[in-house]
Structure 1
Amino acid sequence: MIQQRTDKVELESASAGEYEEILEVWEASVRATHHFVSEDEIHFYRPLILQQLLPQVQLTCARNEAGNMLGFSGVADGKLEMLFLHPAVRGKGIGRKLLQHAVQQQKVTKVDVNEENEQAVGFYLHEGFQVASRSPVDGMGNPHPILHLELVESKA
């Protein structure tokens, strides 16, 4: 069980040995926020994320003082490829902390977000991103529109 205390959150790089733990946070987050994604899609994406996507990004994990993983981000070539939080810690500033780290330390200027994930869209727009373009389907051709966002002003 994730402890709710988040006052002492540490960001650290993640290694391949943490992929399973990262995948657990990813799945919990998707189940809590991506109501438009089917159970079959979750099962389809799990091995792709584990075997293909995680090795291609620079991972940063947020952990509390007990060492519990609260969330993570993945960055490649100035683009935030993923940012997921454990549902128990949403709304506590951890996503903002991960995003600020990505913008300031990893020079992120772009992110793609599911249009159907209205909370995520609102989060990125509030943090200074704007819609640059839209795709009617996701990267796998599924009918989940993607908004391509670019940073216009850093609030970090």
Structure 2
Amino acid sequence: MEMLIASYREQDHNKLVEIWERAVRATHTFLEEHHIEFYKKVVSDVLQQRQVEVWEALNAGAARFYEKMGFVQMGRSELDGSGNPFPLLHLEIKADQAAR
């Protein structure tokens, strides 16, 4: 199977949020519904930004994916932005990768 990864396009916004939600519901069974709804809004709001946060625990594959896509770790937090005990890696895409 061939996979194409493209830069963000506004016309894909709703579909990307939908894909994110399906993936989270399939893999993040520890989250309660209010967590999913909260983060869905956050994802929708920040989708166009050059930074992402990746849950560190049991999620090395996601970190490797973002590294492969040109992101570098800029920091780490023990708690997420809501104060929940979900350690996060803060990643930012390199300028030369963002234009791809």
Give the TM-score normalised by the residue count of structure 1: 0.45
What amino acid does structure 1 have at the position aligned with 2:97? S
Larger radius of gyration: 1
Asked if residue 45 in structure 1 is aligned to residue 35 in structure 2, the reply is yes
- Larger strand percent: 1
Partner of 2:24: 30
Distance 1:6 1:126 in 2: 14
Query: How far apart, CA to CA, are the structure 1 residues paired with 2:88 and 2:45?
Result: 20
- Residue type of the alignment partner of 1:154: Q
Which structure exhibits the higher relative contact order, with contacts defined as CA atoms closer than 8 Å and separated by 6 or more residues?
2
Structure 1: 4+ residue segments shifted above 4 A: 4-7
Which blocks of at least 5 consecutive residues in structure 2 are unaligned? none
Gap regions ≥5 residues in structure 1: 58-73, 80-107
Q: Residues 30-59 of structure 1: CA distance to partner in whole angstroms, max 9, x if unpaired?
A: 13343xx51xx3311243356x436635xx
Instruction: State the AA in 2 paired with 1:32.
Output: A
Separation in 1, partners of 2:12, 2:97: 25
Aligned-pair Cα RMSD in Å: 3.5
| Count of matched residue positions in the alignment of Structure 1 and Structure 2 | 94
| Equivalent of residue 53 in structure 2, options 108, 112, 118 | 112
The 3 A distance-change label for structure 1 pair 115 and 29 is same
Q: Scaled by the length of structure 2, what TM-score is found?
A: 0.63
| Secondary structure of the structure 1 residue equivalent to 2:75 | strand
Counterparts in 2 of 1:26 and 1:111: CA distance versus 1, 3 Å? closer
Matched, 1:125 2:67: yes
How far apart are the structure 2 equivalents of 1:150 and 1:55?
A: 17
Q: What is the aligned partner in structure 1 of residue 89 from structure 2?
A: 147
- Change over 3 Å in CA distance of 1:118–1:32 after alignment to 2: farther
Contact 2:17 2:44 in 1 (8 A): no
More helix per residue: 1 or 2? 2
1:139 shift after superposition:
1.5
- Percent identity over the alignment? 32
**Cα 1:27–1:42 shift into 2, 3 Å:** farther
CA apart distance, 1:124: 0.8
2:79 alignment partner in structure 1: 137
